[in-house]
Amino acid sequence: MKTLNELVNLEEPGWRLVKEWAAEAKNHFEILPRDERLAGEELVALQISTRSPMGAVVYESGGVLFYRGFVRLLGSGCDRMRRGLAGWNAKMMPDLPMQGWPYLIVADDVVGGVFAINDGGLGENAGVIYYLAPDTLEWEDTQLSYSDFVCWLFCGNVAKFYEPYFFEGWQDAVAKLGCDETFSFYPFSWSKEAQDMGVGALSQKAVSADESYRLMIEFVAKLGS
C-alpha cells in the first residue's frame, strides 16, 4: 500500500486540469472546503494518485456541487457533505472488499440517480461512467470516462440531461436539501403511474442519500432488467 506522500503528485497535479474546467464552466458549481485529515485518509484508502482528476478531486475538495446542488460529485467529505468517495462506497457495499466492488460510486443527484465507474459489474464497458436512472431502474452507459464526466459537469449541457426531472420550484427545494439527502417521490419515479403524472405532480420528501441508494438497489434487484 502506498503512503500519502507517494500518492500526492506535486509535479503534475490533476487539480490543475480541474481548475481549467472550472475556469471555463458554463454551469453553476461550488467546491466544498477540504478537510486535511479526511483528504489524506480517503486518498490512501483509494490508493490513487493526485495526478489523476479523481485523486485530485478527493484530495483537494470535500466534494463539488453542480447546477445549484442538483448533482453532487464526491470528494473526501466535509461538514456540509459527510460522504467521502471511499467511505461512502464502503458503507454502501459493506459485504464486499474494495477489490470486489462491481463499481465505484462517484456522484449522485437530488432525484436519487447515481453515477458510478463500471469495474465489471455493470456491463462490458469497464472504466466508464454508468448512470442508475431513478425512472427506469437501469444502469445507463454514458460512454464517459471520469475525466470526461467531470468536464461535462462543469461545461456540458447538464440542464438537457435533467430536463425530465425538473419540477416547478426545484431550485428552492434543492436549496433546502442537505448535501447528504435526496428527494423521495411517491408514486415511485419508475412506476407507470408516476410517469403518467409527471414529476411535478408527485409528492416528495427528503430522505438520506444512504436510504435512497439502498432502496434503489433493492428495486433494481427485484424489478430491474
Cα(44)–Cα(51) distance, integer angstroms: 14
Residue 116 to residue 104: CA distance in whole angstroms: 5
Phi, psi of 211, rounded to the nearest 5 degrees: -60, -40
Q: Going residue by residue through the chain (225 aa), what tens digit of pLDDT does each one get? A: 999 999 999 899 999 999 999 999 999 999 999 999 999 999 999 999 999 999 999 999 999 999 999 999 999 999 999 999 999 999 999 999 999 999 999 999 999 999 999 999 998 899 999 999 999 999 999 999 999 999 999 999 999 999 999 999 999 999 999 999 999 999 989 899 988 888 888 899 999 999 999 999 999 999 865
Domains of the chain, each with CATH number or no CATH = 4-165 (3.40.1580.10)
Tell me how far apart the alpha carbons of residues 118 and 60 are, in angstroms, rounded to a whole number. Answer: 24
Biggest CA pair distance of the chain:
55
Evaluate the omega torsion of the peptide bond into residue 94 and state whether it is cis, within 30 degrees of 0.
Answer: no
- pTM here is 0.96
Q: Where are the beta strands (DSSP E) in 60-201?
A: 63-66, 71-74, 103-109, 114-118, 129-132, 139-144, 181-186
